[in-house]
Structure 1
């Protein structure tokens, strides 16, 4: 491919490459050359052929490393031939490919799913903002309801509001947006005027947000650990992108967002130097994280941090003394009920560790039925243990995987209760409908609270992935501790005037802002 890239530069003045079919298409190769290289690098005589083989992660990571070497070669060749020409490899260094971004691409990009893509953007934005490179996500301007290329489900243009909603998540984190258009049935480059008018409206929506969003940084509140060490130890199949297990991380992000916390996603490479910045860190069933990360999190708690860990195996990883419990029976593939909201919620976990408290405080009890006060077992639903100046909460099951799979509102309420017990006083709190995502950002002397409405005005069903006629939702209340009264509070992007007050206290004061509703994407701008 390198000769073709260099020819395009020299003959046609191409100044950038967005290389598709890379990470998402790569699987192990069993040719003689790759087998010999695998043996030379690992000492293993033969590569495994099944993902159930204990050596499969070694083979899968050999494939990943070989792919990274391949991308590095064509990046280096292009940069050496003509400095300033930009190179991107589709989906490399994105959410499903965590770890230090060593490969010398110039920016990070991926094309989002053509339908049901909003959740993907919610994770990508929060992760890509930590990579230290420019980034964008490509939004498909069209979708279908029943699978790519199905004759009975032809491609159709997305509603404008659907694209604006998808873009808002990315823009709030300072990302760029590109839109992929394929008019379908026309192969002569002809544009369709009515569709171009739609994309022009989306472009205006994006440009209005550029000045405030670009160049802003995070206001750290909750970091969700997305361990590259854990991911690389747990591949579920051959493919470098589609066969990675990210469901617990997604479940943590989605549940915390529904509780209106500000969430950033960081791998070990990004989190280790920033541990002390975050009031709360969540490690969602990341039991194969590195020993350095375990030690870093222990020290983080000792010095005042608040850590939430989940999963039966996390007890062995962090130690019973650190968690303040003694291990009891380990149940396999079991459902127990835990208290949540005004009732209980069933949680399924492939491994569920019953524990008893030593120094930790137990919260609730696991139950055998939905009854809140009968047939309960003498084991807490979760625990909170004071360690040094900080605290660690422990949920002894795969609660975040369960939420990622089922999305039960009561599970979200249970998780919200765990965070409240662990960290009852955070500097920013938001009350709003569950469909509103929060992004906490800062630019210069302005604090920015992005509010993104994920709802739809039409039923969102398995045979209908469209988002359209988005209704206003609210009310919204934001409370924020500040060192002094702000110079002003205004609403960006949407109509409406926020009502606000400031209550002085000995250590500064509390700003209280109320907003009637959010349409798609609004931002409260607090001028310090």
Structure 2
């Protein structure tokens, strides 16, 4: 019996995507494509589900459409052939649909996105989703597409990518907002415009789902990059699964981990798409195998399915070496598949405030503080979840520590919840401008500090005072190449002081503001609080006056990481998991029934003068040691996959102590508990 799409795709950890953006002028389109052989090779490689093109970026359709623009040189129903071949072999097919539709944008200039005059670079030649294109092209095409025996539809660019001031956007905004369209990218009017864009994006998803589900209610709908930290929000019920192709231009392994961790917290099935390329989509080079495996490992360690992207050749042929690479990655995943269906064990939570993200006045929010805290915790061996505020609110009291990393807008309901959480015994860490509004810190009373000035200070130093903070640090103050807020302690203990950075008098001479000519030296006079802690009820609330996590993301100071790690040791009073490993090892803790799973992912970059950062050969870590709190002795402890590394363990005084030797890329410590026993 064929499983419903939702169940089947949830169980499919091995997926592929094949780009086939082919300009209308190409006359060899699909001339070398054999649908039966294509699907047969995928099945042999171990693929379970794949995305295949229905409509490309140009607006070409690859099915026998009566309403859209079929590729002028395509004389076959390419999508139909692939769907039929896939169903015969039990593979799942997701149709790829690109919303930009450049052909219709040129054919109907009145439908085009025009950008916004106050936002340089926002002009591009593609369809505006507020134009009549939605009713005249989009909905009819989707209803036609839904008649195929598909498992789902993957949408690319189903949201407003840039601000737009076209006729349709102006009229729609003014009608809904009841005020003039904003001509400047600032102020109240612009914030209202960003709120309106968010509603437009939500309506686009609802429109797409409605059109597809009116024909086939079982179709799964996924929207690339929707509901990510840069466009946060609760996915609607009509979304079948979450997806994004991570930005591989910097550090693909880190990107994969960050987004998988955030998606995992939204409680929906999800995939993370990576590619087989050296330089993301605009490339044909092969990524090293061990690099690809490390990316897959980071995804599955955080609860996701892996989708590996490739290009078809212009005539529809495939690169056999790319398929072989994919096959090896699928084999790697399959060896671990039995233990992947699981959920994250609550321990440390990182808050993402949706209201704070949208209040920035950007279509894509700046999430650097969240990326920074994720990176720092990862490199410190601290298992954590990155959670939307609405999600964290549901399980707040399950976490031993909550971190609020420069989230300027905190909803009043959540402020109240944090007060209750700390009073009940929870630990809270707040940084920089979190909850800052109207010259006050909304969490100030809880933190025991008051704001002295809303104007941030550029550069400074943190000088630890508490003995617990100085462990492993140099005697000199720690340079923070980022911003501070000036605060005073009211009811909090000062654990570290802020020292200002010296600024020489300006005379107009060159190099006066160079951080090497006196500028930036620490000034001992006038020290102010940098790190404080307040005891509230049974819990504690700590505050860091620096934008410490944003700074770490851009500056990567080992001393900052050690300082924060020491602070975490003071705040997490009831440890669940302790890890001794180099910063190259990512650790996640998950659970499935009576099974506790500790994922260990190892990766290091090769020397490179530029990004993206890659590794041709991952060097094994000689020894990883960890301690995991378990209420009772486990019935069995093993390392999976067998034979790739060595495990020694013992259980004593409520702790499982384990040592893994020779960790290569990914191993899992599996602790099987007897029925009815407690655990992590």
**TM-score, normalised on structure 1?**
0.90
Deviation at 1:143? Answer: 2.5
What's the secondary structure of 2:441's corresponding residue?
A: helix
Counterpart selection for 2:352 from 222, 226, 244: 226
What's the secondary structure of 1:476's corresponding residue?
A: strand
Partner of 1:83: 217
Counterpart selection for 1:335 from 459, 463, 476: 459
C-alpha deviations, 1:440-489, integer Å up to 9, x for none? 10111111111111213x21441563221110024211112221112222
Matched, 1:17 2:150: no
Matched, 1:256 2:377: yes
Matched, 1:7 2:139: no
What's the secondary structure of 1:38's corresponding residue?
A: helix
Partner of 2:195: 61
Number of aligned residues = 505
C-alpha deviations, 1:287-310, integer Å up to 9, x for none? 212111111111111111111001
Matched, 1:512 2:657: yes
* Contact 1:113-1:140 within 8 A present in 2 as well: no
Partner of 2:284: 155
Partner of 2:100: none
Matched, 1:394 2:518: no
Matched, 1:435 2:584: yes
C-alpha deviations, 1:83-110, integer Å up to 9, x for none? 2122211111223222221262211111
C-alpha deviations, 1:256-295, integer Å up to 9, x for none? 1111111111111111111111111000011212111111
Partner of 1:112: 246
Deviation at 1:131? Answer: 1.9
Matched, 1:485 2:618: no
C-alpha deviations, 1:478-522, integer Å up to 9, x for none? 112221112222111262332222222xxxx12211122321111
* Contact 2:651-2:657 within 8 A present in 1 as well: yes
Deviation at 1:380? Answer: 3.2
> Partners in 2 of 1:120 and 1:228 — Cα distance?
20
What's the secondary structure of 1:498's corresponding residue?
A: strand
1:67-466 mapped onto 2 (5 Å cutoff): 67-102=201-236, 104-115=238-249, 116-144=251-279, 149=282, 155-182=284-311, 186-214=313-341, 216-236=342-362, 240=363, 243-312=364-433, 314=435, 316-328=440-452, 332-338=456-462, 339=464, 341-343=472-474, 344-356=477-489, 358-368=490-500, 375=524, 377-456=526-605, 458-463=606-611, 465-466=613-614
> Partners in 2 of 1:272 and 1:143 — Cα distance?
40
Q: Measured at CA, do residues 330 and 85 of structure 1 come closer, stay the same or move farther in structure 2, by a change above 3 Å?
A: closer
Structure 2, unaligned stretches of length 5 or more? 1-137, 465-469, 503-519, 674-680
Q: Once superposed, what is the RMSD of the aligned Cα atoms?
A: 2.4
Q: Measured at CA, do residues 47 and 75 of structure 1 come closer, stay the same or move farther in structure 2, by a change above 3 Å?
A: same
**TM-score, normalised on structure 2?**
0.70
> Partners in 2 of 1:360 and 1:480 — Cα distance?
32
* Contact 1:174-1:213 within 8 A present in 2 as well: yes
Matched, 1:37 2:193: no
Q: Measured at CA, do residues 13 and 54 of structure 1 come closer, stay the same or move farther in structure 2, by a change above 3 Å?
A: same
* Contact 2:405-2:434 within 8 A present in 1 as well: no
> Partners in 1 of 2:223 and 2:583 — Cα distance?
35
Deviation at 1:187? Answer: 1.0
**Whose Rg is larger?**
2
Deviation at 1:74? Answer: 1.5
Q: Measured at CA, do residues 482 and 200 of structure 1 come closer, stay the same or move farther in structure 2, by a change above 3 Å?
A: same
* Contact 1:233-1:288 within 8 A present in 2 as well: yes
Q: Measured at CA, do residues 50 and 211 of structure 1 come closer, stay the same or move farther in structure 2, by a change above 3 Å?
A: farther
- Higher mean displacement: 362-371 or 35-44: 362-371
> Partners in 2 of 1:279 and 1:372 — Cα distance?
38
